[in-house]
Amino acid sequence: MHTAFFVLLAASLARYLARHAEGPHTPWIIALSALLAVLYVLGPALGTRPSPRRLTWLALVVATWAVLVVLAPSFAWCAVPLFYTGLRTLPPRAALPLVALLTALAVAAQLSLAGWPDPNVLLAPPAVAAVAATVFVVMQRQAARRDALIDDLVRTRRDLAATERREGTLAERERLAREIHDTLAQGLSSQRMLLQAADRLWDTAPGTARGHVRAAAAIAERSLAEARRFVHDLTPADLAEGGGLLQALCAVAARETTPALTVRVQSEGTPSDPLPAPVESALLRIAQGALANVREHARATTATLTLTCLDDEIVLDVTDDGRGFDPHGREVRETATDEQRGHGLPAIRARLRQLGGTLTIESAPGEGTALSAAIPLEPR
């Protein structure tokens, strides 16, 4: 549009000089053309918003052009670029009267050249002005809607990113809570019991007491290794040693076996393909969490881990002969301490939910507990 303005201005000046080079108004026409060109060049530096400086500039441009049109009607063709200048500077309600004024000046100038009421001169400039104004207003409204849509998309993307960050933070917090419950919390609980037993036996049976202290130190060392691994989201230490899930479950059972509790491991079937690492890690942590509940709440003498490998799923059953509880009641929460309350079974359910698995609990007061965790296996 800027290029069109200068082309039309130069063409109008050239036409005037070609026909009226010796006219009395020629110096004025040249000076006003140069002034109009300079004013138009200064326009972009003032921005597009209707500020006082911008409005003053627009008034000077229109006034200079109007004087040129009165002196030389051929300059009327510069009105088309000025339509867009006015429409870009003023709101529609103020710009449309300006467009009508420019159109009227252009029509009057062309009629003075024609010397008679030429229908083409009377109708063509208003038609051009109407088309130019309509196209600009429609495009401006579309641009405004597009900008609003882009703002909505940017805001939605920002909200989505914030939501994803929050979900990621909560997921990581939940992961750490599960890992702490299944490793550090259990280790600390075992150490506390061993150290309490050592304190009771320190004077009467120092050899046995030292054995309890050494066992507590070994648990602390293993808990430290587990802490370092889950901070980096690595495979549990029992699985990292090799041998697979069954051997890892045997290692857990050996550590949980005490004079008061015997833990056995059974297996039925073998998987046709190696189990995915997330499945093995989840089942091992579930076994650790379930045995921690048995040790702390069930008062059982025997617990059994049974690993069953089927074609389409793998199932871990944890059974005990303890005092049992009502799975639908509040007893399990009432028997837990404040620090332990609410982390065992919810952590197991969360692990299974991530892998599309299911948890089934069968228990009754005085009849022991059977916990079954099933994880589907994708066909290979």
- Please write the tens of the pLDDT for every residue from 72-93: 888 888 888 888 888 888 887 8
For residue 289, pLDDT beyond 60 = yes
Q: Is residue 137 part of a domain?
A: no
Percent of the chain with pLDDT over 70: 90
The residue-averaged pLDDT of 220-226 equals 79
Q: What is the pLDDT of residue 233?
A: 58
164, part of any domain = no
What's residue 331's pLDDT?
43
Name the band, by pLDDT with cuts 50, 70 and 90, for residue 60: very high
Counting the structural domains of the chain, the total is 2
pLDDT band at 343 (very low <50, low <70, confident <90, very high): low
In this prediction, residues 270-295 reach a mean pLDDT of 86
Kindly state whether residue 176 falls inside one of the protein's structural domains: no
Predicted confidence at residue 87, as pLDDT, reads 82
Instruction: For residue 94, give its domain range.
Output: 2-117
Domain final residue, candidates 117, 151, 170:
117
Q: How confident is the model at residue 374 (pLDDT cuts 50, 70, 90)?
A: very high
pLDDT at 263 over 90: yes
pLDDT at 379: 60
- How high is the pLDDT of residue 38? 92
For residue 230, what pLDDT band results from cuts at 50, 70 and 90? low
pLDDT score at 249: 92
**Band of residue 253 on the pLDDT scale cut at 50, 70, 90:** very high
Residue 154 domain-assigned? no
| Maximum average pLDDT range among 89-98, 292-301, 325-334, 338-347 | 292-301
Give pLDDT tens digits for 1-28: 888 888 989 998 998 888 887 878 889 9
**Residue pLDDT, tens place only, 360-371:** 999 999 889 999
Q: Is the pTM of this model over 0.75?
A: no
- Quick check: 277 pLDDT over 70? yes
Q: Kindly state the percentage of the chain with pLDDT values over 90.
A: 22
Specify the pLDDT at position 234. Answer: 59
More confident site: 178 or 132: 132
**Domain final position from 83, 117, 151:** 117
Would 335 be classed as within a structural domain?
Answer: yes
Does residue 217 fall inside a structural domain?
Answer: no
According to the model, what pLDDT value does residue 232 have?
A: 59
Residue 103 belongs to a domain: yes
Question: Is 175 a domain residue?
Answer: no
Confidence (pLDDT) at 187? 78
Q: Cβ(111)–Cβ(121) under 8 Å?
A: yes
pLDDT above 60: residue 153: yes
Residue 341 has pLDDT above 70, yes or no: no
| pLDDT in the model for residue 337 | 42
Q: What is the pLDDT of residue 339?
A: 41
Q: Per-residue pLDDT for 110 more than 70?
A: yes
Domain boundary among 87, 117, 147: 117
* Predicted confidence (pLDDT) per residue in 309-334, tens digit: 988 899 999 999 999 888 876 444 44
Give the CATH number, domain containing residue 301: 3.30.565.10
